[in-house]
Homo-oligomer: A and B are copies of this chain.
Amino acid sequence: MGLFSKDIKSMEDLFLHTLQDVYYAENQIVKSLPKMIEKATNRELASGLRNHLAETENQVSRLEQVFEAIGETPRGTDCPAMDGLLKEADNVAGEVDDKKVLDAAIIGSAQAIEHYEISRYGTLIAWAEELGHDNVIRFLKANLKEEKAADKKLNTLAEAKLNRKATGTRLTPVSPSRSGPERQREKSPSRPPRDAEVPGCAVRTGVDLKVHALFLECAHRWNRMPSAKLRNKAQ
């Protein structure tokens, strides 16, 4: 799209522009992830990022199939948002002077990147549906599903291990015989559970696990609904 010209004249143009924006963004992530992997010291984090690099390469291919399906040649357009997100990730990592804190910082930055993509794919899917581009929705949904899963994995890793390692929080249960500063760093059993709706802030407490089980039940019941046949047929 040209500078100082008004090249976006329709929703089709806006859809294409945003597709090019995401295509550029995914390609930049493919270039940047190896640096993040190199900086990560936790083996599970490095391995998770490596898996996501392979996924991102597949996502680029899916986007190329979207371009093809709408009769366009794959190409990127400037995406100052992704440039900024990657610059911020790089700046923060460069300022951290402790390996475990660096792992926590990498996870925070990676989740900010995932959320940008989640938002963009959500928007693209909505527009594709309105424009009647039913033949591209499955590619966009596959990418969205992977971004959400990657965000959740980072979350689980952060909550389960890395934040705790970085802060030095103890995991032993609270005992009435211990008190004072030693107890201050322990998790209180009466702490309210984290909001289960929000990617980026789900924690695996006992209550959350019960909610998770109920959601699984919901999903199971949803799949057994008569309308599921229609849905599965359409997908």
A: residues with CB less than 8 A from B are 1-2, 4-11, 13-14, 17-18, 21, 78-85, 87-88, 91-92, 94-98, 101, 104-105, 107-108, 111-112, 114-116, 118-123, 125-127, 129-132, 134, 137, 141, 144-145, 148, 158-159, 163-164, 166-167, 169, 184-185, 187-195, 197-201, 203, 206-207, 210-211, 214-215, 217-218, 221-222, 225, 227, 230-231, 233-235
Contact = CB atoms under 8 A, between A and B. Distances in A.
Count this chain's copies in the assembly.
2
A159 B133 CA distance: 16
Nearest to A79: B88
Contact of A227 (B115, B130, B203, B206): B206
Contacts of A225: 207, 210
Contacts of A96: 6, 8, 14
Given A97-B6, A134-B191, A108 B80 contact: no
Contacts of A88: 21, 79-81
B233 A167 contact: no
A231 to B, nearest CB: 5
17 contacts: A5-B95, A6-B97, A9-B97, A11-B101, A80-B85, A81-B85, A84-B84, A104-B127, A111-B122, A112-B116, A114-B119, A125-B201, A127-B167, A130-B169, A132-B169, A144-B198, A207-B231
